[in-house]
Homo-oligomer: A and B are copies of this chain.
Amino acid sequence: MTPRPPAQPGDPLAGIETPALVLDLDLFERNLARMAEDAARLGVRLRPHGKGHKCPEIARRQVAQGAVGICCQKVDEAEVFVREGISDVLLTNQVVHPAKLSRLAALARDARIGLCVDDALHVTRAGEAAEAQEVDLNIYIEIEVGQRRCGLPVGPGLVPLAQRIAETPHLRFAGLHAYHGSAQHLRTAAERTAAIGAAADLVREAITLLKEAGIDVPLVTGAGTGTYELEASSGLWGEIQPGSYAFMDADYARNEAESLFDNALTLRATVLSTSVPGQAVLDFGLKAVAVDSGPPLPLSVVAEVLGVSDEHTILAQPEGAALSVGDRVTLQPGHVDPTCNLHDWIVATRADRVEALWPISARGAGL
């Protein structure tokens, strides 16, 4: 059951129950427009990632502004997005379990579905599922370009895997998936340029290897908010997959760069307790914010975060402007993707009012 929303349309901001994820619609809409313009300027297809927002309303707005479709990471997410009207979904991950592949293939009756592989078993099982469902799937080989997670190293394994895809009925070799996730968070522009330069060299080598074997690479897809301009400018990538740009977060804010995008998503909290001298305890913790990229950053007060536990975040009392029980505090999440996954609703606001409640329908969709 979906928990109740923290507000209703028309509520003033002060009426929002906390903790709540609050979206500034003016900033958010500007972020979406700017990315659409930038992809057009760079001459690449835009396929925003939906793993961060997990919100069909946002995916529909991205597609309405020219995105070719969206990316996701899980079959459950793909089901939500297709059911909610997204007709082109790329699963930028591997899938092994036959029941999941069967569900993914079933979606291809209503939508264009892409999937990444880096092993022969992925190809075999995807082929079986596609055949059983009598659909075609677009298969991308994920190559290792510096992230060191999933992805086939560029080398002798590449051509046989592409041939295996091409020879499997109902599978179409759609190209290469080349995403350097850790490069997004390198702090200096020089580091990011070097990382994506090295990734581009590997993409170029992979295309050459495949071409020499007579295999055309229809598309290279990849790139995130921190680096997409580099991939797009390389002339190799034809499609970019940024996700964080819609909201931004405290981790991205640490990158040295002029960003086109503004922080549009905040966490609203309330002071629960000030009984222990020198501190103010807020009404949320690890179940409402992810701390893998550090604690949330207070925006409405200058205060150090002393700790985050399951249901509480402790702030040092700000000098000269002590917080009282019932005061409200606005914070920026450290890492927006796993934070959104902890919430069921985005409270969409404009000026000082709640305009809409958007369900995070793919929240928890983890299979």
Contacts and interface: CB of A to CB of B under 8 A. Distances in A.
Interface of A: 1-4, 6, 15, 17-19, 51, 73-74, 76, 93-97, 99-100, 118-119, 121-122, 144, 148-153, 157, 181, 270-277, 279, 281, 283-284, 286-288, 290-292, 307-312, 314, 325-326, 335, 337-338, 341-344, 361, 363-367
Nearest to A277: B153
A181 B364 contact: no
A4 B270 CA distance: 33
Contacts of A95: 272
A364 B337 contact: no
A17 B309 contact: no
11 contacts: A3-B76, A3-B364, A96-B325, A119-B325, A153-B276, A284-B366, A286-B292, A287-B337, A292-B308, A310-B337, A342-B366
B151 A275 contact: yes
Nearest to A365: B3
Given A15-B99, A149-B281, A343-B364, 9 more contacts: A4-B76, A6-B367, A96-B283, A122-B325, A144-B275, A148-B279, A149-B314, A151-B275, A286-B337
Contacts of A307: 149
A94 B276 contact: no
A91 to B, nearest CB: 11
B149 A312 contact: yes
A201 B361 CA distance: 49
Contacts of A314: 148-149
Contacts of A97: 17-18, 270
Given A149-B281, A150-B273, A287-B341, A51 B364 contact: no
A272 B4 contact: no
Query: 8 closest A-B pairs (Cβ-Cβ)?
Result: A150-B273, A286-B338, A118-B275, A94-B272, A73-B311, A152-B275, A119-B325, A287-B341
A197 to B, nearest CB: 20
Nearest to A17: B367
Contacts of A153: 275-277
Contact of A2 (B1, B308, B337): B1
Nearest to A311: B73
A93 B149 contact: no
A3 to B, nearest CB: 5
Given A51-B310, A281-B150, A366 B96 contact: no
B122 A311 contact: no
Contacts of A51: 310-311
A118 B272 CA distance: 9
Given A287-B341, A325-B122, A365-B3, A276 B151 contact: yes
